[in-house]
Amino acid sequence: MNAPKEGDYIAIQSYKHDGSLHRTWRDTMVLKTSENAVIGCNDHTLVTESDGRKWVTREPALIYFHKKYWFNVVAMIREGGVSYYCNLASPHVMDQEALKYIDYDLDVKVFPNGEKRLLDVDEYEAHSAKWHYSAETDRILKANVKVLVDWINNGKGPFSKEYIDIWYNRYQELAHPPLEHYLVLIAKEDRTDCAVFFFCFLLRMIFIKSGVCSKKAPDLLFSKKRLFNKKAILDGV
């Protein structure tokens, strides 16, 4: 399948070792894809549990998946700071239905003050006995806990402030484009009627006066078929 593009929405599905569906996040916007990694963001997205229970996330969350690591990272952006929920899990796969991975119970939670907690150890031991996790799987997961803690302690990858700033800002740009964006979309329409151009001209005046956009950006409004003398019109603005 073709990899999703920036701005596309995908579902995320978490499975358990026995193949049963564990949890589904309905809508996550893709911010970046590469050969190994996926970065995305969801905000107030619908989550469905294995028992059919549904709930909606409360805050924006950046998600990070990498095919070379047995964990994924959710950065929850709150007023009091950024909290992280890190799932020990298999590397992800992507198909036309969703991004998918196997959840291996263990979680590391990181609080805004830097405190770390390893969660669900009892659940891991119970499921390991129930579903017969292999010795190799156990070794890989425990090694990846160490890698994860090193990333946290040293502010690597998704645990850096720059990561949060860059990718949350990009999400906001894609999810809530500025008004200039809509002006550009209008400009790209191949229309010749005077009413459209006059409407665009009025918008330009309003936005410049209000400081929403610069004088330069809306020049695209007149870049197609000029029914007016652009210079004569703009000299008065």
Question: 53-94: per-residue pLDDT in tens?
Answer: 999 999 999 999 999 999 999 999 999 999 999 999 999 999
Whether 167 maps to a domain, the answer reads: yes
Number of folded domains that form the chain: 2
Q: Which of 102, 109, 114 is nearest to 140 (CA)?
A: 102
Spatial separation of the C-alpha atoms in residues 117 and 110, rounded to whole Å: 7
Given 23, 78, 170, 204, which residue is catalytic?
Answer: 23
Q: Which one of 126, 156, 175 terminates a domain?
A: 175
Spatial separation of the C-alpha atoms in residues 45 and 23, rounded to whole Å: 13
Q: Which one of 147, 175, 203 terminates a domain?
A: 175
Say if residue 105 is in the same domain as residue 149.
yes
pLDDT at position 130 is 98
Q: Evaluate whether 61 touches 77 at the Cβ level (below 8 Å).
A: yes
- 191 an active-site residue? no
Q: Which residues pair with 74 in a beta bridge?
A: 63, 85
Whether 1 maps to a domain, the answer reads: no
Q: Which residues pair with 37 in a beta bridge?
A: 66
* pLDDT tens-digit map of 109-145: 999 999 999 999 999 999 999 999 999 999 999 999 9
Position 189 pLDDT exceeds 60: no
Say if residue 112 is in the same domain as residue 209.
no
Written as six digits, the tokens of 184 are 């550009």
Say if residue 188 is in the same domain as residue 132.
no
Q: Which CATH number belongs to the domain containing residue 26 in this structure? A: 2.40.380.10
pLDDT above 90 covers what percent of the chain? Answer: 72
Q: Which one of 130, 150, 175 terminates a domain?
A: 175
Residues 6+ apart with CB under 8 A from 6: 30, 31, 32, 33, 174
* pLDDT tens-digit map of 35-45: 999 999 999 99
Say if residue 226 is in the same domain as residue 155.
no
Q: Evaluate whether 22 touches 48 at the Cβ level (below 8 Å).
A: no
pLDDT at position 201 is 63
Say if residue 110 is in the same domain as residue 137.
yes
Say if residue 157 is in the same domain as residue 184.
no
Whether 3 maps to a domain, the answer reads: no
Domain that holds residue 35: 9-175
Say if residue 185 is in the same domain as residue 166.
no
Say if residue 71 is in the same domain as residue 142.
yes
Say if residue 170 is in the same domain as residue 184.
no
Say if residue 33 is in the same domain as residue 131.
yes
Say if residue 86 is in the same domain as residue 191.
no
Whether 22 maps to a domain, the answer reads: yes
Whether 2 maps to a domain, the answer reads: no
Written as six digits, the tokens of 235 are 């000299």
Whether 88 maps to a domain, the answer reads: yes
Say if residue 41 is in the same domain as residue 77.
yes
Whether 4 maps to a domain, the answer reads: no
